[in-house]
Amino acid sequence: MADKDSGRAELIIKYKQTGKKSYRNDAVLRYMDIVKYFVYSLRNMYDGFIEPEEITNEAVLGLISAIENFDTSRGIKFETYASVVVRGAIIDFIRKSGSIPHRLDNFYKSMQKVYQELYTKTGIEPTNAEIAETMGMTEAEIRKYLTRITSYRTTSLENYAGENNDIGETRTEEGVWQVEDNAVRTDKLNSLTSAIERLGDRDRQIVTLYYYEKLTLAKIGMVLGISEARTCQLLAKALEKLKLFMGDYSN
């Protein structure tokens, strides 16, 4: 494995020395594990409203940018630098895509109102289909909006904790590549871990399933026996609590 890493790292050096695009193109192919990792690990932020192919294209552009701007004299591993650039490219693309935040906020408030009205009327938790019918939308549209709302809240929390830090374990599925830790990242992750421990059992379970297990809202709802809409509501409240707790640690 060391030979593999040194071999592809050599491509970066050769490209910087010669400027030949063939070396850069080969390097892109050899470092696609970084692209694949972040397309997979950040899927909860775009699943349902942006095609994976679009995310992959942006990630590849980020990888190319990382190769072009990498400074071989700084003594930093390219994998570490590229992980920051690729992840940032994906998040920036997600932010710029789709509905504007105030439209999402209006939808969320309307959905909460409908949810409460239906629950009060029947005493039973409403399904996505019932909420969609009442709001004059399709189930697919409801799911798309719920995912979009969660992606914005997730991005907000990650900005608060440190945009370049993934809450989950940062390595490829094969366990081959791992981003190097540093003091700042470790401190922020420790603060976040402590904040998660302060949550109630259900909030902590939802956050763990979403961030660590990378489950979608629908799958979390299945695990907990609640609707996707209710899962979104509970996750939103848990994220707000985490921000509050993180604020305590930062003071």
Do 83 and 192 belong together in one domain? no
Please give the sequence-ordered ranges of beta strands (E in DSSP) within the chain, or none if there are none. Answer: none
CATH number of the domain where residue 66 is located: 1.10.1740.10
Q: Which of 123, 115, 138 is nearest to 227 (CA)?
A: 115
Number of domains in the chain: 2
Do 73 and 141 belong together in one domain? no
Q: Which residue, 81, 96, 111, sits at the end of a domain?
A: 96
Q: Which residue, 46, 62, 96, sits at the end of a domain?
A: 96
Do 144 and 159 belong together in one domain? yes
Do 231 and 158 belong together in one domain? yes
Look at residue 183 and tell me whether its pLDDT is greater than 50. Answer: no
In angstroms, what CA-CA distances link 112 with 25, 51, 222? 49, 27, 20
Q: Which residue, 61, 80, 96, sits at the end of a domain?
A: 96
**pLDDT tens-digit series, residues 90-137:** 988 887 775 556 777 788 889 989 999 998 998 888 988 999 999 999
- Give the pLDDT band (50/70/90) at residue 155: low
Do 119 and 88 belong together in one domain? no
CATH number of the domain where residue 186 is located: 1.20.140.160
- For residue 105, give its domain range: 101-250
Do 199 and 141 belong together in one domain? yes
Residue type, position 165, single letter: N
Do 62 and 86 belong together in one domain? yes
**pLDDT tens-digit series, residues 6-57:** 688 899 999 999 999 999 999 999 999 999 999 998 886 777 668 889 999 9
- DSSP annotation of 182 reads -
Determine the pLDDT at residue 184.
46
Do 91 and 114 belong together in one domain? no
More confident residue, 213 or 251: 213
Do 105 and 200 belong together in one domain? yes
Burial 16-43 (b: 16+ CB within 10 A, else e): beeeeeebbebbbebbeebbebbbebbe
- Give the pLDDT band (50/70/90) at residue 65: very high
Determine the pLDDT at residue 78.
92
Do 159 and 66 belong together in one domain? no
More confident residue, 125 or 4: 125
pTM (2 d.p.): 0.53
Look at residue 80 and tell me whether its pLDDT is greater than 50. Answer: yes
Determine the pLDDT at residue 14.
93
Whole-angstrom distance, CA of residue 170 vs CA of residue 233: 27
Mean pLDDT of 232-250: 77
Whole-angstrom distance, CA of residue 118 vs CA of residue 120: 5
Do 117 and 220 belong together in one domain? yes
**pLDDT tens-digit series, residues 187-228:** 666 777 788 888 899 999 998 888 778 788 889 999 999 988
Do 43 and 13 belong together in one domain? yes
